[in-house]
Chain A
Amino acid sequence: MEFSLQPLLLSFELSLITTVLLLLIGIPISHFLAYHNFRFKSGIEAIISLPLVLPPSVLGFYLLIAFSPNHFFGSFLEQTFNLRIIFSFSGLVIGSMLYSLPFMIHPLQAGFQSLPNNLREASYTLGKSKFETFFRVSLPNIKPAILTGIVLSFAHTIGEFGVVLMIGGNIKKETRVASIAVYDAVEALDFHAAHIYSLILLIISFLILLVVYSLNKHLFKSQKAL
């Protein structure tokens, strides 16, 4: 087995797409959870947080079953939309989104909850709509939380293994991401390739965290009067 950049590029592509999609769905979900109390809120929060405690292989197993063409949902997707989720890149994206969901939702929800209520109220008294208040007041004032959510989701997706292996398998140029390439290299006793993949992942992970802590420090300083 030879070292190839392909698994690393695939990991980056997966992480980038997952993070962007998570940000788009994470902002409205976390905003709703931060400001609304309803009957099943605890249940929904527990479901969102499940990937934090559930073994990735268990999540991957259930996704494999759910999207399998031999079962109702997978069969429905294939027959109606000609869409096959398992052992495909789109399957990896869905699995990664579910697996990294709490890493986006939790920081954003905490960010919204930490904003003083009277900031939104002040905006309403100035005649601004909820929509304008959200985009001009709430969102710009949770920048550190948004940054934390983005980086944690990105870093978590880059390092995922169990879910990816279960739902995506190990298909070259399609689902073989960097973490699986390390596993393959070790199994093939190619420690040289395993070292290169591992070192690159290690350096990237460290740099990502370094950037997030530095930026957060800067943003925290500029917004500490909140």
Chain B
Amino acid sequence: MIKINIQKGLKIEGEQKTLSIDMEINSGEFIVIYGKSGAGKTTFLRMLAGLTIPDKGIIEYNKKVWFDSSTKQDRSIINRAIGFVFQDQALFPNMTVLQNLKYAAGKNQDHDYLHYLLQISELQKMGNRYPNSLSGGQKQRVAIIRALARKPKLLLLDEPFSFLDTAMQNQLKVELNKIHDRFNLTTLLVSHSPADIEGNADRYIEIKNGENKERKKQQNAGYSQEAVILDIQETASFLLLQLTSNTKTIQLPIDKNVESQFCIGMKVKVYIQGSNISVIPNQS
């Protein structure tokens, strides 16, 4: 469990205010932090990571003190065992994708795990590419799997989907959920829009006017259905799908850009989130 009670003076929406965060995070929880731009979401993540020092307060991780202003304790970033995904990726330009992962994994490299990470992010063929030859979305995916490469206990993501198209966002959200479940990984995800991750998180916390407020989770905000592709109508960009659960067929429009990802007979997942419907290849 993580106990957080910290304050930090900063400019919020043009005014000098105190960002005051008081919350507890249970082990294995997936929490979405949302709020307006400049509300202090990133500062909060940075304080948790040890990149920014709070003015006052205490952070405890599994009863170990990470930060305590009263005793001037401040556990070094390198000893906090976190994974941090920066909004602008911060990939090392002098290393290839694989070297970025290996650097993150350190001495105890699990090659199967690194291969798995490349596979779920569809970057198997990009291992020897340098970051400057990748697209914005590919860089973002490398940043996410690099943070996972060291098998962190706490994963902090700062707007990780901002450079991704909808199909890739959905796919990575699914994989992120799988990883979260598989490793029981406590995850904090910052987003300016909670709609981005509707249905995936255990809790939603809004940072507003310098304080955190919890919002009740919307039930049935999003769900998925497994299906098989019966036909691809390329001219009109439609997929004809048969749902695995009840053998009903449905027809869904898809983006022309992602059409090449699909083939007849392929297993897929259909995601329905609010008014958004997306289809991604099913790798489970």
Instruction: From the candidates A124, A127, A137, A223, name the one contacting B81 in the complex (CB within 8 A).
Output: A127
Scoring A residues 113 to 150 as 1 if CB is less than 8 Å from chain B, else 0, what string do you get?
00010110111111111000000110011000000000
Q: Which 10 A-B pairs have the closest CB atoms?
A: A225-B132, A122-B90, A125-B84, A140-B94, A118-B90, A124-B77, A126-B104, A127-B78, A118-B86, A141-B94
Q: Summarize A's interface: helix, strand, loop or mixed.
A: helix
Number of interface residues of A (CB under 8 A): 21
Show the binding face of B for A, using Cβ within 8 Å: 49-51, 77-79, 81-84, 86, 88, 90-94, 103-104, 106, 130-132, 146-147, 150
Tell me, rounded to whole Å, the shortest Cβ–Cβ distance linking A46 to chain B: 32
**A39 contacts chain B at the CB level, 8 A cutoff:** no
Contacts of A118 in B (CB 8 A): 86, 88, 90
- Verify B51–A223 contact, CB threshold 8 A: no
Among B51, B79, B130, B146, contact of A121 (Cβ-Cβ < 8 Å): B51
Contact between A224 and B132, CB atoms less than 8 A apart: yes
> What separation, in Å, do the CA atoms of A122 and B85 have in the docked complex?
8
Can you list 12 A-B pairs, Cβ within 8 angstroms, ordered by A? Answer: A118-B90, A119-B90, A121-B86, A122-B91, A123-B92, A123-B103, A127-B150, A129-B78, A140-B94, A141-B94, A223-B132, A226-B132
Residues of A within 8 A of B146 (CB): 126
Minimum CB–CB distance from B188 to chain A (whole Å) comes to 13
Q: Give the most central of B82, B94, B131: most A CB within 10 Å.
A: B94
Residues from 32 to 87 in A contacting B, C-beta threshold 8 Å:
none
Q: How far is the CB of A143 from chain B (nearest CB, A)?
A: 8
A128, B95: Cα distance in complex, Å: 15
Residues of A within 8 A of B (CB): 116, 118-119, 121-129, 136-137, 140-141, 222-226
CB neighbours (8 Å) of A140 from chain B are: 94
What residues on A are CB-neighbors of B94 within 8 Å? 137, 140-141, 223
A136-B103, A141-B92, A223-B93 in contact; A122/B130 too (CB < 8 A)?
A: no
Separation in Å of the B182 CB from the closest CB of chain A? 21
Contacts of B103 in A (CB 8 A): 123, 126, 128, 136
Q: Is the CB of A125 within 8 A of B132?
A: no
* Inter-chain contact A137/B132, CB cutoff 8 Å: no
A123 proximity list for chain B (CB < 8 A)? 92, 103
Chain A residues whose C-beta falls within 8 Å of the C-beta of B132 in the assembled complex: 222-226
Separation in Å of the A218 CB from the closest CB of chain B?
A: 13
CB neighbours of B84 from chain A (8 A): 121-122, 125
Selected contact of B78 from candidates A124, A141, A224, A226, CB within 8 Å: A124
Residues of A within 8 A of B106 (CB): 126-127
Name the A residues within 8 Å of B79 (CB-CB).
Answer: 127
